[in-house]
Structure formats: structure tokens, C-alpha cells
Amino acid sequence: MVRYYCPYCNPKYQFQKQSSKGNLICGLCGEDLVKKPFIRLNQIIALVAASSLLLPLIYTFIFLIKNQINPPNKNYQAISTLMIIIKEKLS
């Protein structure tokens, strides 16, 4: 549904009328109604700003949870020592 509004009147008290030409006019002041866009430019800018702040936070929480479920192996020296022992036994 396309929304129309009067730029001069308070939105609380607006009601629409149709003129004899078929145009929508304000019932209070008689001015032509202006079509309200579905998505405005300031809404797009607000979404970009909010996502630039929230996406790194979400990204951090995802990796925090991932590391809690599958913790990385921190004992790197033991792995290399085990590899050396295995190589010596095979030789």
C-alpha cells in the first residue's frame, strides 16, 4: 500500500480526501498529498552504520563459541617431539 502524507499538517490529524480531478488531498488544509517512499535514504545509511558496528561483534562471538566447542591444540612442541620419535623408530 502506498502511503501519502501532507507535509504541512500534523500526521495525527491527517485524513485523505479525493479531489474532483482524482488527486488525493489533505482533509485539513487542502494541499496535495506527497507520496511517502517505502525505503528512505536515511534508513539505508542507518542500516549500513549499524551493520558496520554489529558485524565485527557478531563475528567475534561466532569464533569465541567455535573455539569453546573445538579448542585449538596449544601444545605445539609435544607434537613436533612426537613426530621426531616416530621418525627415529621408523628409520
Q: What is the number of structural domains in the chain?
A: 2
Do 27 and 51 belong together in one domain? no
Q: What is the pTM of this model?
A: 0.47
Do 13 and 29 belong together in one domain? yes
Report pLDDT for 1: 41
29 is in which domain, residue-wise?
3-36
Report pLDDT for 31: 83
Query: In this predicted model, what pLDDT tens digit does every residue of 19-78 receive, in sequence order?
Result: 777 788 888 887 888 888 888 899 999 999 999 999 999 999 998 898 888 877 666 655
SS (H, E, C) 42-59: HHHHHHHHHHHHHHHHHH
Do 47 and 83 belong together in one domain? yes
Do 50 and 32 belong together in one domain? no
| Beta-bridge partners for 35 | 4
pLDDT greater at residue 69 or residue 11: 69
Do 31 and 45 belong together in one domain? no
